[in-house]
Amino acid sequence: MPQMDQTAQMDRIAFLGLGHMGAPMARRLLAAGHPLTVWNRTAAKAAPLVAEGAVLAAPPAHAVREADVVITTVADPAALDAVAGEIVPALRPGTHWIEMPTVGPDAVRELAARAGESATVIDAPVKDLALATKAAELPAMEAALDHYRRTAADPALADADLSHEAAGIRTS
């Protein structure tokens, strides 16, 4: 029986923001076999991930235009606003956007309003990065990806705050 290419079934993910929080998450997605396109304000931070198989995009709009899932891990609401201004016009209808940093509910509501019908925004803040990174588990991201899969089947579950779900995923 012919083997099917595993990446043909995997979600295409765009990961924007590769700092202390984003780089380990992106590395985990690569290790799981996801096709991954990355962007960072400082492109040199993407070099290790590109060496591991990620595709580097510049500008950020190029990262998201073919993505099924967009994950942002930028520094603060101002950085999120700047990135959103560049990528919202490039989002494909049906995209799921997982917002990882703790930027606050107002910023996430504004993001969802900007995305409109182009994307379902999922708020999945990482609240204990040190624990998540040390344990090599990223519970908020895992909860968000699980939520994405469920909302693909039932859109009524969209636009949730996943803090409670992430807390229930093992980190050791």
Q: What is the spatial distance between Cα 4 and Cα 121, in angstroms, rounded to a whole number?
A: 31
- What amino acid is encoded at 158 in this protein? A
Tens-place pLDDT, residues 78-110: 999 999 999 999 999 999 999 987 788 888 889
Q: What is the largest CA-CA distance in the chain?
A: 52
Token pair for 172: 């050791």
Q: What is the spatial distance between Cα 18 and Cα 44, in angstroms, rounded to a whole number?
A: 10
Q: What is the spatial distance between Cα 162 and Cα 166, in angstroms, rounded to a whole number?
A: 6
Token pair for 14: 């765009």
Helix (H) / strand (E) containing 37: strand 36-39
Nearest by Cα to 158 from 144, 171, 140, 169 = 144
Q: What is the spatial distance between Cα 106 and Cα 112, in angstroms, rounded to a whole number?
A: 10
Tens-place pLDDT, residues 17-50: 998 888 988 998 898 889 999 999 999 999 999 9
DSSP-derived 3-state class of residue 158: coil
Q: With contact defined as beta carbons under 8 Å apart, do 137 and 156 qualify?
A: no
> What percent of the chain has a predicted confidence (pLDDT) above 90?
47
Whether the pLDDT of residue 140 is over 60: the answer is: no
Confidence (pTM): 0.76
Taken in order of first residue, the domains within the chain and their CATH numbers are 8-167 (3.40.50.720)
